[in-house]
């Protein structure tokens, strides 16, 4: 494997949140243990969301990796589409408010919710 695929939640040019996949090169390390380049981080935070949790539409305050440690997390977009992430999966959240824009919950952002019968535990790593 020469790359790692990261799912990115991003703000498109029309101000709406979308998903895309992009490769992260694994061109360091050894043939037995391929590594990406070192990525800077600015702290990490754990979150526990109880059964039934659901947010309103919002944007991320900063780019961050989101790792699902327990449970299931669903992310919904303005176009009605949604993606479910299970324990052991991740995504890169870069759904930021466009520069100069005022947040409009009819246009910007995404919502998130806990799915299933167990609480959602996530790890956020700020990029």
Which residues are registered as beta bridge partners of 103? Answer: none
CA distance 78 to 108: 7
- Give the residue numbers spanning the domain of 110: 3-126
Over the stretch 72-94, which tens digit does the pLDDT of each residue have? 999 999 999 999 999 999 999 99
User: Domain with 26 in it: what CATH number?
Assistant: 2.60.120.10
Q: Can you read off the two tokens belonging to residue 14?
A: 């029309």
pLDDT tens, residue by residue, 56-70 = 999 999 999 999 999
Q: Provide the number of structural domains found in the chain.
A: 1
Cα diameter, the chain: 48
Q: What is the pLDDT of residues 92-118, one digit of tens each?
A: 999 999 999 999 999 999 999 999 999
């Amino acid at each position: 494997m020469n790359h790692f695929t990261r799912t990115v939640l991003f703000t498109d040019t029309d101000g709406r949140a979308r998903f895309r996949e992009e490769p992260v090169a694994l061109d360091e390390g050894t043939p037995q243990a391929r590594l990406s380049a070192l990525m800077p981080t600015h702290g990490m935070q754990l979150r526990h969301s109880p059964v039934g949790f659901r947010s309103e539409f919002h944007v991320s305050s900063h780019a961050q990796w989101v790792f699902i440690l327990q449970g299931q997390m669903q992310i919904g977009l303005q176009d009605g589409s949604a993606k479910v992430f299970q324990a052991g999966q991740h995504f890169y959240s870069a759904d930021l408010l466009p520069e100069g824009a005022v947040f409009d919950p009819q246009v910007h952002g995404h919502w998130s919710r806990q799915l299933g019968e167990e609480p959602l535990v996530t790890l956020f790593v700020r990029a």
